[in-house]
């Protein structure tokens, strides 16, 4: 397994870390597990950290369109409105393929998604929407 996650009660969000070789199947598997957790309904927030040595070479635009988007369509009701996910990617060379997801049309219909260099930036964006929603 190239990931591990926990629920952080202080920020009311799931934290997940990917390391090693990361492919679309691992990302979607982790997502299925998180949205199946009992805390999901009251959180709908994911803070994702990519390990500095993570290998994203298996991710392609074709995988996003043919695998991830149909999955997102199928899980829309479980995911719920207002879902947000922030990715922290410390190695800039590793961020372009994830930024492709950030730029895909219609992805915000599933959940808001953004990429950041640091955790403080990611948390500010992730938690800002919670304050605005109240």
CATH number of the domain where residue 99 is located: 3.30.750
Residue 133 falls within a domain, yes or no? no
What is the predicted pLDDT for the residue at 56? 83
Residue pair 8/48 in contact by the 8 Å Cβ criterion: no
Q: Dihedral (C-alpha) 126, 30, 27, 13: value to the nearest 10 degrees?
A: 10
d(CA 50, CA 96): 13
What is the predicted pLDDT for the residue at 92? 64
**Residues 32-91 pLDDT 10s:** 999 999 999 999 999 999 998 888 888 888 888 899 889 988 988 888 888 899 999 887
What is the predicted pLDDT for the residue at 107? 54
Q: For residue 106, report the phi and psi dihedrals to the nearest 5 degrees.
A: 70, 0
Residue 134 falls within a domain, yes or no? no
What is the predicted pLDDT for the residue at 108? 57
Distances (CA, A) of 42 to 12, 17, 18, 19, 23: 8, 21, 24, 27, 28
Residue 88 falls within a domain, yes or no? yes
d(CA 92, CA 85): 18
Q: Any long-range contacts for 71-77 (C-beta under 8 Å, 24+ apart)? A: 71/28, 71/31, 72/107, 72/110, 72/111, 73/110, 75/31, 75/32, 75/35, 76/109, 76/110
Count of domains observed in the chain: 1
* Range in 26-35, 107-116, 125-134 with the lowest mean pLDDT: 125-134
What is the predicted pLDDT for the residue at 53? 86
Given a cut of 90, whether residue 124 has pLDDT beyond it is yes
Residue 31 falls within a domain, yes or no? yes
Mean pLDDT of the chain: 84
Average of per-residue pLDDT across 99-111: 61
Average of per-residue pLDDT across 118-124: 95
Residue 132 falls within a domain, yes or no? no
- Domain range enclosing 83: 3-127
């Amino acid at each position: 397994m190239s990931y591990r996650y926990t629920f952080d009660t202080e920020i009311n969000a799931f934290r997940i870390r990917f390391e090693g070789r990361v492919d679309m199947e691992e990302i979607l598997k982790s997502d299925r597990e998180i949205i199946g957790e009992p805390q999901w309904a009251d959180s709908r927030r994911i803070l994702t950290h990519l390990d500095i040595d993570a290998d994203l070479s298996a991710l392609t635009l074709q995988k996003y369109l043919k695998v991830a988007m149909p999955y997102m369509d199928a899980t829309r009701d479980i995911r719920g409105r207002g879902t947000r996910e922030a990715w922290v990617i410390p190695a800039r060379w590793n961020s372009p393929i994830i930024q492709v997801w950030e730029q895909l049309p219609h992805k915000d219909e599933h959940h808001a998604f953004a990429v950041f260099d640091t955790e403080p930036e990611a948390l500010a964006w992730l938690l800002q929407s919670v304050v605005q929603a109240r």
